Structure 1
Amino acid sequence: MSNRLFLLDKNYILKQAQKDQRASLQLRLMEIVKEGYFLVYNPLRLPDTTSEQVRLFQTTELDVFDELYDILAGIYRYQIGDNQLELLFDGSSHYDKYVTDWTEAFCAYTQELCTKKNFILAALELTVFRSPEKRIELAQNRMKVAIFEHFELKVYKHKGIQAYKSKSA
């Protein structure tokens, strides 16, 4: 994007805010996934080996969530729709407002997704239970399908975002 015609276009500011928040929100995603695991699979938090592995896990590699993050960022930009900057009367910048709005939306999205068993299992397979012999693409694809079914939207690289019809019964 070297030829930006409108440097104060909402989409440029929002994309920059989303890019800057990537690492912190991916860490937050892992914490939300852990909470989702306990809510769905171990609500009483009874100690067992699996629960202890999940509880004690500290992630260092967040790049496994890059595609997921980009999909959620695209869906957010699609859902908010317009590209007009709004008037802010509180003295904050548009960048600060979009950082706040995007952070809240991302956390809400991931909390909704963490009510789905497939999403939680795929996220844990990518992080806590990751092993070198397993292909991470399979877990990433399960996460994408859970997102597409939840939002009823599908993100295509060249066609953009379109309505998604689930193939399951």
Structure 2
Amino acid sequence: MSDRLFLLDKNYILKQVQSDLRLKLQNKLIDLIKEGYYAVFNPLRLSDSTTDLIDNYVAANQSYFDELYDVVAGIYRFQIGDNQLEFLFDGSSHYDKYVIDWEEAFINYMNELCTKKNFVLAGLELTVFHKPENRIELAQNRMKVSIFDHFGLKIYKYKGIQALKDKTA
């Protein structure tokens, strides 16, 4: 996705960082969705069969979040806008700086999204309550709609990322 949306972007370091952190951040997303469930639906953390399922869930397949991860990575690159390397005077590498920046931004984005009911429900549907007979595309689409609404952006296949227009009359 990033290559298609950012054809002229030569920031290969950021691309590599986003690729390298994919599995780690997808696992973190699953943990944040679990916490989002408690914040939105069960703030007292009362124990029942649902909370037992959520607490005991261990991620076996993070590939359900691949497209979501790519969308958020694209939005991050769109929002930071500046893709020029900066001078670092602390002795760290640009790779290390991007690791810190991207991980922090991703976790902040997901913390904000995990306060939204539809996002949390779709995330639980892809993980804890996933059944092989269910179509995962429906839950993935609900998560993407939540992201687009939250950021006020839309990703078009041929036009790239664009701001949503207000539909007020």
Structure 1 equivalent of residue 56 of structure 2? 56
Structure 1 equivalent of residue 80 of structure 2? 80
Structure 1 equivalent of residue 109 of structure 2? 109
Per the TM alignment, residue 156 of structure 1 is displaced from its structure 2 partner at its CA by 2.1
Consecutive unaligned residues of structure 1, counting only runs of 5 or more, are none
Consecutive unaligned residues of structure 2, counting only runs of 5 or more, are none
Count of aligned residue pairs for this structure pair: 162
User: Structure 2 length normalisation: TM-score?
Assistant: 0.91
Task: Determine if the alignment matches structure 1 residue 45 to structure 2 residue 50.
Answer: no
Structure 2 equivalent of residue 67 of structure 1? 67
CA distance in 2, matches of 1:165, 1:109: 21
Per the TM alignment, residue 164 of structure 1 is displaced from its structure 2 partner at its CA by 1.9
CA RMSD of aligned residues (A): 1.9
Per the TM alignment, residue 97 of structure 1 is displaced from its structure 2 partner at its CA by 0.3
**Aligned-residue identity in percent:** 65
Are 1:23 and 1:62, in contact at CA under 8 Å, matched by a contact in 2?
Answer: yes
Per the TM alignment, residue 15 of structure 1 is displaced from its structure 2 partner at its CA by 0.8
DSSP 3-state at the match of 2:154: strand
Within-5 A mapping of 1:1-169: 9=10, 11-165=11-165
CA distance in 1, matches of 2:164, 2:49: 38
Is the alpha carbon distance of 1:17 and 1:151 closer, same or farther for their aligned partners in structure 2, counting shifts above 3 Å? same
Q: Mean alpha-carbon deviation: is it higher for 18-27 or for 148-157? A: 148-157
User: Structure 1 length normalisation: TM-score?
Assistant: 0.91
Paired amino acid for 1:66: D
CA distance in 2, matches of 1:163, 1:46: 40
Paired amino acid for 2:120: I
CA distance in 1, matches of 2:143, 2:51: 21
Is the alpha carbon distance of 1:41 and 1:166 closer, same or farther for their aligned partners in structure 2, counting shifts above 3 Å? farther
Are 1:149 and 1:166, in contact at CA under 8 Å, matched by a contact in 2?
Answer: no
Question: 1:70-116: CA deviations, max 9, x gaps?
Answer: 00000000000012111101100001100110000000000000000
